[in-house]
Each structure stands twice: as structure tokens, then as C-alpha cells.
């Protein structure tokens, strides 16, 4: 297939100072939960993106000195020669495919707690840590500023020596340089504070010094916010940003434009759709003739072309779309746009950084597995034998298993009890704000429909006899799970109601089945991720009086990791949904729910005709055990595995991953003692 000529513009090479990007696809710096801790994992992952056609591939944030230390978040570093060697793995992997490698230099200032290095953080004044740690930073004096500039310069030189083509001055996201630019925060009385010119001074010096140090071989990029304050979504408050930009516009080789509201820039699809930064870009390109990159969770080539043609941006910046599909550019180039694995905007990738765990992606199960498992997003080994595989259940686990097995060439039968495929994804995507989650199903459906060796059987509820009758060589049970109506107290499950009242205790499955309450409803969220809030919103939208209650201190506790907790709570408050935090549910009599304070143990009553319990799930594993059990034990004529929520209920990303792993591993030898390579700081000789 050939490329649609409408998309030619995306593949034009573009000069960035002394270097030239082979096309306009630009993976902006994004964190991965790997940083300096897992250099091989990181290098392989970034290399795959270059292979997939991203013309520029950047690192995550690189600390320039131990006084900027962000642990427990795994950042990258450019502190010494060993960092140079580690980064070489990445730059080599990226250059191998003709792409440019970019390094983002970072100094956290009042945002970095320095819990590993234990050195005092430094910023423009002695202010509290802006990430909530009980460590205040020290005010930088003029010597400190000079020393800081020296560190920055040295890090830039290390970046060049590591083989990077683009070196960043990072002046956004609430770190040191953005604080210097900030008119409210920077009240210094020396030449680095007060007037606009003074506040811009440090950024100007760094751009000039970085150019002077590495500008003959590397382009210098600046990450800069086009607005000054968080306003209403899509309504920028520019303040002095344009003036600042005008003062600096000709200095760097590239502008990488962000905005003040990270929860919009990095917004989850529940609240933020494609291209949310466009209103914030309105003036940027008219003020500079240097190339500009910005992001927008772009997955549609038409939107990309339109942004370029309308002069919004020069490069198509992406973090998440490049994670969900490292081969997105190649697919457009080869006229296979419909094969793009579109990001669903769930921010599970971002949770890797929040939790300091290697990155994962709901849509792309190979993300972060390129090195340790040798998984490639587009390549999978051929089947080992002529075996036939039955996959029971078409949720994310079953769909991905069928897709992987189909690609390997197996004859696959995918049996689904319902009329619709997609399992929990199809059901959840119908809830408020969740529509983009359907991409998990649609990408796989589109792939399966063109595979002649895969048959999908809908309305096929399988029992033991049905499974036996298929005479498959391999059977995967991917029958999912169902929400339970009980509460879990970290030790055991408790019924909260008996008799008639028990019939008024519902679960998310009841709600998704259309079984709705008919009076004031308490949604009890013991799960802590998105489902409690989504169910509360759904019931509010059908006109019910809803109270959301959680035993945690905050609404949607775990969603802090996906950077959506704040938006979820704001949204619920705006809708008028009642909120009770730090209370567990002790009982329900059909009229009143009894809540117990997590701290004092005091009880109080809330009127409710129904309670929806969002707590835990039961694996639908009866078929698996029935097959395993009885006289057939040990004598099954096929291999049998359970995968996904049927094995261990978890997030959608885990189900996709389980399906993928099953497909990869079927009829291969897996060393159960050492199932994956272990990337780490290596003190031995010749290891790995
Ligand atoms: P997962 O997240 O593990 O993929 P889901 O709950 O999303 O699990 O999907 C499970 C799917 O399995 C559902 O679509 C359900 O209808 C289907 N299913 C459950 N039991 C059977 C069965 N015995 N035969 C066929 N399909 C089944
Ligand atoms: Fe997109 Fe979710 Fe994958 Fe992140 S984890 S890239 S948000 S699909």
C-alpha cells in the first residue's frame, strides 16, 4: 500500500538548527518510570519508536546535578560519564533508524525533594516543596546561579558526548526555570527578579550558553508554556507569556510548547479530547520563524495535517500516541492508517512515573517489554505447530490473545457468550466520558476481521461439553469477572444487607446491565480507581440524587497516579454529587446506609434507597475449574490456561497484557525460574 498524498506533508524533512529531522513526527520528552534505573529497557523502547518512524525521539527529564533529585520518581540523569555511557545505548538505538535523539535537561528546584542525594534543593527563594514534601529549598544566591549555569553547561556537553542531536532547556512544568519566569513567584530583588527582563535573564543565559557549548553539533530546544495561569479549559490566560516569548524567540533552534495546566495538557480522555492545546497556540507561530512542536494526543493523520497547514505547529509532538503505537508514522506512511493502535487517553502510562514502575500501556502490551522480554510491537513469532486454539471470552484478554495467535498463524476460534464482542470494554465505554476506551476493542476487532484464520462466534455461551466438542489443541479461558456486592475490609468480605434490603444493593454490573435504582443512591467506592466516580456520574445523569462515599481520604484515590483524581473530584462537585471521604459502609437496611468514620469509628446515617458497591470482583472461573476438575483432571486433550480478569481481576491494561503473553508464549519454552531479563545497575563484569 502507498501513502495517501494528503499526508505527504507529514513526511517532509525539517531542519532544526544544525540538524535535520527526517519527518515531522516528534516524540517529545516523556517519563517512563525507568530513568537512570533501567537504561537497557529504555534504550530498546526508544529505539523501537525510531524504527516505527518517529523522526525525533527524546529522553525523559535528565537531572543535571544531584541537587535535583526526584526519587521516588525514576528520572534520567546526566551527572557523570557513566550516564553518558548509559545514554549511548539509547542514542545508538535511535540513530540506527535514521532518527534524531533529544535530551531534556532538568533542574527541579522547589519541586524536587532530593530524598536520595540529601542535598538541599535550590530555587529562587526558600519556599516549601511544591510537590508536597516537607522539605523547603534554599534560596539561590548569585554564586549558586553561576554554579547552576556551570552544571547546566556540563550536562549539555555530556548530552552531546552521549550522541544526542537536540539538547533542551526546560522552562516549564513548575520546575526551577519556570519559577524564575513566574511573576507571582519571582520577587527577587537582584538582576534575576522583578522586571520581565530580569525574570527572563536566567533562561536567556542558559539558551545562549547551551548554544555556545554544543550548538555547532546539537540543536537547542526550549520547552516553554504559552499561557501563564491555569484558566478554564480552552480559555488561556496569557499574562506576559507573549512578551517573554518575543524576547527569546530567535535564540533557540526549536520551541516545544506546553501549557500551564498539566491536567489538560496530559488530560485523560474522560475529560479532555484530541488537540486541546490548539487554542493556546494561537499566537506562537506568528511570533517566531523557528520550528515549533506541540502535543495533543494526536492519532488522526487528518488532524495532524490540518494543524500543520493552519500554522498551529510544525512538528506533530506526541508522548502517548507514540507509546500506544510506536509504529504510528510507519502506518501512515504505508497507507495503513486504519491499523493505528489509537491511544485511549487512560494515562496508565503516566502511572509508571507516579509509581516509579516501568511504563506500561493499555493499548500496547509490548511497551516496556522490548528489552526484557524481546517483544516487538509489530512482530511476533510464527506458530510452532498446526494447532487449533479456542479462546473463550472476547474481553480485552480474549481479543488480544486471539489477535496475537491469529498473527502467529494459528487457527483461532473466539467464542463469546454475548452478541457484542469486547467484554468489559464495550460495557464500560458506554458510561459517561469513557467512549474512547472502545478503541481497545475496535483496534483488535479491525485486525481480527481481516485474518482468515480467525473465526468469531458470538452468542456462544460455552460449557464443558461445548469446549470438548470443539476439539481444540489449546484452550484459553478469558471469561472475565463480575463485581461483588460485598465490602472488603482488607481481611474479609462482608455482606452489608440482608433480606429485602439485599436486593437494593447493586453492583456496577447491575448498572451496566440497565438495572437502575429508583431513589437516592449511595455509591460506595472501595476500589479507588475510576469506576466509582463514573457510576456516580451515570446515576446522577439519569436524574438520581447521588452520594459518593469512600473509605479513602480522597475521591478516586488511585487515580492520582493517572493524574485524573483532581479532575474527577472537581467534576463530581460541579455536578452536585455528594461526597463522603474516610467513611466505610457498615450496613444498609433499605432506607439508610450506616457509615463509620475511618478515624474515630463514629457511626452516622445517610438516607438511601439503594447502594451501589464498587469494591471487588469475582473471577468467572467456573468453566476453567469444571474443565480441570473431576474425571478429566490430568487427562485433558488440550492445554488449558485462564487469562485476564478470569485469572486475577485487574485493570484493562493487565487483561490485554495477559492475552498478549498467552499468545506469545503458546508452544514456546518459557523458563519459569527466569521469565524475564532483569535490567538494573550492574556491578558485575560481563553480565547481561
Ligand atoms: P477480560 O478483562 O479478562 O478480558 P471481560 O470481563 O472483559 O474479561 O470479558 C469476558 C468476556 O467473556 C465477556 O464478554 C463475557 O460475555 C464472556 N464470557 C464469559 N463466560 C463465557 C462463556 N462461558 N462462554 C463464552 N463467553 C463467555
Ligand atoms: Fe494512551 Fe493509555 Fe497507552 Fe497511555 S496507557 S499511551 S493513555 S492508551
CATH number at residue 471: 3.40.50.720
Are both 271 and 407 inside the same structural domain?
no
Catalytic residue, candidates 75, 175, 410, 443: 175
Share of the chain above pLDDT 70, in %: 99
Distance, CA of 63 to CA of 512 (rounded, Å):
46
Q: Is the pLDDT of residue 497 over 50?
A: yes
Query: Which backbone phi and psi does 54 adopt, to 5 degrees?
Result: -70, 120
CATH number at residue 510: 3.50.50.60
Choose among 310, 328, 324: nearest CA to 269: 324
Are both 518 and 641 inside the same structural domain?
no
Instruction: Tell me, yes or no, whether 159 lies in a domain.
Output: yes
Choose among 355, 358, 365: nearest CA to 561: 355
What ligand is nearest to the CA atom of residue 479? 1
- Nearest atom in ligand 2 to the alpha carbon of residue 321 is 6
Are both 213 and 240 inside the same structural domain?
yes
Q: What is the pTM of this model?
A: 0.97
CATH number at residue 290: 3.20.20.70
Are both 52 and 70 inside the same structural domain?
yes
Q: Mark whether 175 is an active-site residue.
A: yes
**Pocket perturbation via mutation, ligand 2, pick of 270, 299, 347, 561 by most ligand atoms within 8 A of CB:** 347
Average confidence (pLDDT) over 76-104: 97
Task: Supply the range of the domain harboring residue 106.
Answer: 5-112+145-354
Are both 592 and 637 inside the same structural domain?
no
Are both 45 and 74 inside the same structural domain?
yes
Q: Is the pLDDT of residue 450 over 60?
A: yes
C-alpha cell at 246: 518575543
- Of 618, 635, 651, which residue is a domain's last? 618
Distance 365 CA to ligand 2 centre (A): 10
Q: Which positions ≥6 away from 141 have C-beta within 8 Å?
A: none
Average confidence (pLDDT) over 167-195: 96
Residue nearest to atom 13 of ligand 1 (CA): 423
Are both 588 and 514 inside the same structural domain?
yes
Instruction: Tell me, yes or no, whether 687 lies in a domain.
Output: no
pLDDT of residue 676: 87
Share of the chain above pLDDT 90, in %: 94
Q: Which positions ≥6 away from 499 have C-beta within 8 Å?
A: none
pLDDT of residue 685: 62
- DSSP secondary structure string for all residues of 498-555: -HHHHTTEE-HHHHHTT---SS-EEEEESS-SSHHHHHHHHHHHTT--EEEE-SSSST
What ligand is nearest to the CA atom of residue 319? 2
Are both 500 and 453 inside the same structural domain?
no
Q: Is the pLDDT of residue 516 over 50?
A: yes
User: Other CB atoms closer than 10 Å to residue 498's CB: what's the count?
Assistant: 12
Instruction: Tell me, yes or no, whether 207 lies in a domain.
Output: yes
- Nearest atom in ligand 2 to the alpha carbon of residue 360 is 5
- Of 303, 329, 354, which residue is a domain's last? 354
What ligand is nearest to the CA atom of residue 481? 1
Are both 256 and 279 inside the same structural domain?
yes
- Of 586, 618, 650, which residue is a domain's last? 618
Instruction: Tell me, yes or no, whether 682 lies in a domain.
Output: no
Give the CA count within 13 Å in the CB-facing half-sphere of 649: 15
Distance, CA of 423 to CA of 439 (rounded, Å):
13
Instruction: Tell me, yes or no, whether 680 lies in a domain.
Output: no
Distance 433 CA to ligand 2 centre (A): 16
Q: How many domains does the chain have?
A: 3
C-alpha cell at 477: 479461558
pLDDT of residue 687: 47
| pLDDT tens per residue, range 535-570 | 999 999 999 999 999 999 999 999 999 999 999 999
Instruction: Tell me, yes or no, whether 359 lies in a domain.
Output: no
Distance, CA of 156 to CA of 435 (rounded, Å):
43
C-alpha cell at 517: 435504582
Pocket of ligand 2 (CB under 6 A): 320, 323-324, 343-349, 361-363
Q: Where are the alpha helices (DSSP H) in 21-71?
A: 39-51
Distance, CA of 330 to CA of 333 (rounded, Å):
5
Instruction: Tell me, yes or no, whether 491 lies in a domain.
Output: yes
Average confidence (pLDDT) over 142-157: 98
Are both 321 and 347 inside the same structural domain?
yes
pLDDT of residue 633: 56
Query: Which backbone phi and psi does 254 adopt, to 5 degrees?
Result: -155, 145
Are both 248 and 201 inside the same structural domain?
yes
Give the CA count within 13 Å in the CB-facing half-sphere of 525: 27
pLDDT of residue 681: 76
Are both 497 and 603 inside the same structural domain?
yes
Distance 477 CA to ligand 1 centre (A): 8
Instruction: Tell me, yes or no, whether 382 lies in a domain.
Output: no
**Residue 675 confidence class, pLDDT cut points 50, 70, 90:** confident
Amino acid at each position: 500500500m502507498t501513502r495517501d498524498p494528503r499526508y505527504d506533508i507529514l513526511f517532509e524533512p525539517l531542519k532544526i538548527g544544525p540538524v535535520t529531522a527526517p519527518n515531522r513526527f516528534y516524540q517529545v520528552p516523556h517519563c517512563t518510570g525507568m530513568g537512570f534505573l533501567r537504561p537497557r529497557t529504555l534504550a530498546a523502547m526508544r529505539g523501537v519508536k525510531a524504527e516505527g518512524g518517529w523522526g525525533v525521539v527524546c529522553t525523559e527529564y535528565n537531572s543535571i546535578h544531584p541537587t535535583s533529585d526526584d526519587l521516588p520518581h525514576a528520572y534520567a540523569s546526566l551527572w557523570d560519564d557513566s550516564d553518558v555511557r548509559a545514554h549511548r545505548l539509547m542514542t545508538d538505538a535511535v540513530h540506527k533508524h535514521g532518527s534524531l535523539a533529544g535530551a531534556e535537561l532538568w533542574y527541579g528546584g522547589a519541586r524536587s525533594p532530593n530524598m536520595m542525594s540529601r542535598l538541599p534543593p535550590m530555587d529562587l527563594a526558600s519556599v516549601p516543596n511544591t510537590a508536597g514534601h516537607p522539605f523547603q529549598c534554599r534560596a539561590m544566591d548569585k554564586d549558586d546561579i553561576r554554579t547552576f549555569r556551570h552544571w547546566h553547561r556540563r550536562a549539555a556537553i555530556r548530552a552531546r558526548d552521549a550522541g544526542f542531536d537536540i539538547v533542551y532547556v526546560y522552562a516549564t512544568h513548575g520546575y526551577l526555570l519556570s519559577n524564575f519566569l513566574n511573576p507571582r513567584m519571582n520577587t527577587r530583588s537582584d538582576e534575576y527578579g522583578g522586571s520581565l527582563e530580569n525574570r527572563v535573564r536566567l533562561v536567556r543565559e542558559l539558551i545562549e550558553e547551551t548554544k555556545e557549548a554544543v550548538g555547532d553539533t546539537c540543536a537547542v530546544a526550549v520547552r516553554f508554556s504559552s499561557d501563564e495561569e491555569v484558566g478554564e479549559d480552552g480559555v488561556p490566560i496569557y499574562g506576559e507569556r507573549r512578551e517573554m516569548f518575543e524576547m527569546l524567540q530567535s535564540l533557540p533552534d526549536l520551541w516545544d510548547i506546553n501549557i500551564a495546566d498539566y491536567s489538560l495538557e496530559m488530560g485523560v480522555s474522560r475529560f479532555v479530547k484530541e488537540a486541546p492545546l490548539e487554542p493556546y497556540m494561537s499566537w506562537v507561530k506568528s511570533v517566531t520563524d523557528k520550528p515549533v512542536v506541540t502535543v495533543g494526543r494526536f492519532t488522526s493523520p487528518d488532524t495532524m495535517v490540518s494543524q500543520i497547514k493552519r500554522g498551529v505547529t510544525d512538528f506533530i509532538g506526541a508522548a502517548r500516541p507514540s507509546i500506544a503505537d510506536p509504529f504510528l508514522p510507519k502506518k501512515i506512511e504505508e497507507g495503513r492508517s486504519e491499523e493505528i493502535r489509537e491511544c485511549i487517553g487512560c494515562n496508565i502510562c503516566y502511572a509508571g512515573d507516579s509509581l516509579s514502575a516501568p511504563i506500561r500501556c493499555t493499548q500496547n502490551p509490548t511497551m516496556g517489554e522490548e528489552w526484557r522480554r524481546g517483544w516487538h510491537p509489530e512482530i511476533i513469532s510464527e506458530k510452532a505447530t498446526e494447532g487449533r486454539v479456542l479462546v473463550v471470552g472476547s474481553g480485552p484478554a480474549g481479543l488480544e490473545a486471539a489477535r496475537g495467535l491469529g498473527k502467529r498463524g494459528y487457527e483461532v476460534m473466539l467464542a463469546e457468550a454475548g452478541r457484542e464482542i469486547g467484554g468489559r470494554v464495550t460495557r464500560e465505554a458506554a458510561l459517561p466520558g469513557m467512549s474512547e476506551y472502545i478503541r481497545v476493542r475496535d483496534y483488535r476487532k479491525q485486525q481480527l476481521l481481516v485474518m482468515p484464520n480467525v473465526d468469531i462466534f458470538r452468542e456462544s455461551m460455552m460449557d464443558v461439553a461445548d469446549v470438548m466438542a470443539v476439539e481444540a489443541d489449546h484452550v484459553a479461558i478469558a471469561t472475565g469477572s463480575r463485581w461483588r456486592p460485598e465490602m472488603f475490609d482488607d481481611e474479609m468480605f462482608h455482606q452489608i444487607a440482608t433480606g429485602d434490603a439485599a436486593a437494593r444493593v447493586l453492583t456496577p454490573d447491575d448498572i451496566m446491565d440497565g438495572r437502575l435504582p429508583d431513589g437516592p443512591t449511595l455509591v460506595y467506592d472501595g476500589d479507588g480507581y475510576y469506576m466509582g466516580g463514573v457510576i456516580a456520574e451515570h446515576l446522577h445523569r439519569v436524574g438520581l440524587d447521588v452520594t459518593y462515599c469512600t473509605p479513602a481520604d480522597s475521591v478516586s484515590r488511585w487515580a492520582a497516579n493517572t493524574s485524573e483524581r483532581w479532575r474527577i473530584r472537581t467534576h463530581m462537585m460541579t455536578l452536585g454529587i455528594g461526597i463522603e471521604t474516610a467513611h466505610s459502609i457498615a450496613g444498609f437496611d433499605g432506607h439508610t446506609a450506616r457509615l463509620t468514620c475511618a478515624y474515630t469509628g463514629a457511626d452516622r446515617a445517610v438516607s438511601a434507597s439503594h447502594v451501589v458497591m464498587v469494591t471487588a470482583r469475582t473471577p468467572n472461573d467456573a468453566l476453567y475449574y469444571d474443565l480441570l476438575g473431576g474425571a478429566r483432571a490430568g487427562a485433558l486433550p488440550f492445554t488449558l490456561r485462564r487469562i485476564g480478569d478470569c485469572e486475577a481481576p485487574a485493570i484493562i491494561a493487565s487483561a490485554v497484557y495477559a492475552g498478549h503473553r498467552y499468545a506469545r508464549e503458546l508452544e514456546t519454552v518459557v523458563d519459569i525460574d527466569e521469565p524475564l531479563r532483569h535490567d538494573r545497575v550492574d556491578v558485575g563484569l560481563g553480565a547481561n
